[in-house]
Amino acid sequence: MKISRTALALLAGLALAGSLSACSATISLEAAADSNNPACAEVSVRLPEQVAELARRHPEIHRMRLVVDNPGGQDRMVLHCEIEAGGEVLDKALVASLREVTKLRGDVAFSAPGGLPNDGKVIEDSRVY
């Protein structure tokens, strides 16, 4: 009995696919509540650019990190800034810039130079679901 090249290639492909699929474990993933919300996708894509814009607008800040968490199930955004000396005027200016640039409400927290980890992160998502 002769087997055509096409049939042989098909059988080889099926055998290869079967052997590869046997190696991988099944991972169950659950989508977040707002995963289909287009506004959320835009925020996650644009935030790095927006943090860079905040740094350009406020050169007195040595380093900044935008932290998103959800205490009590409510999402919260806090811009952590390293600065020599802050004050109410700078706090209000940063809150206004944060809202203007990101179109989201957020808070600002100040620390002395060296107060933020030097790990290269600009945005930290520490939300717990």
**What's residue 84's pLDDT?**
87
The CB-side HSE value for 68 (13 A sphere, CA atoms) comes to 13
Domain-wise residue ranges, the chain: 38-125
Please give the class, per CATH, of domain 38-125. alpha beta
**What's residue 42's pLDDT?**
47
CB 50 within 8 A of CB 102: yes
End-to-end CA distance of the chain: 60
CB 81 within 8 A of CB 108: yes
> pLDDT by residue for the chain (129 residues), tens digit each?
566 666 556 656 555 555 544 444 455 556 566 655 655 544 555 778 898 999 999 999 999 999 998 888 888 999 999 998 878 889 999 999 999 998 889 999 999 999 999 998 888 988 888
**What's residue 116's pLDDT?**
92
* Cα torsion 89, 123, 83, 78: sign: positive
* pTM recorded for the entire structure: 0.64
DSSP labels, the chain: ----HHHHHHHHHHHHHHHHHHHSPP------TTTT-HHHHHHHHHHHHHHHHHHHH-TT-SEEEEEEE-GGG--EEEEEEE-SS--HHHHHHHHHHHHHHHSS--EEEEE-TT-S--SS-SEEE----
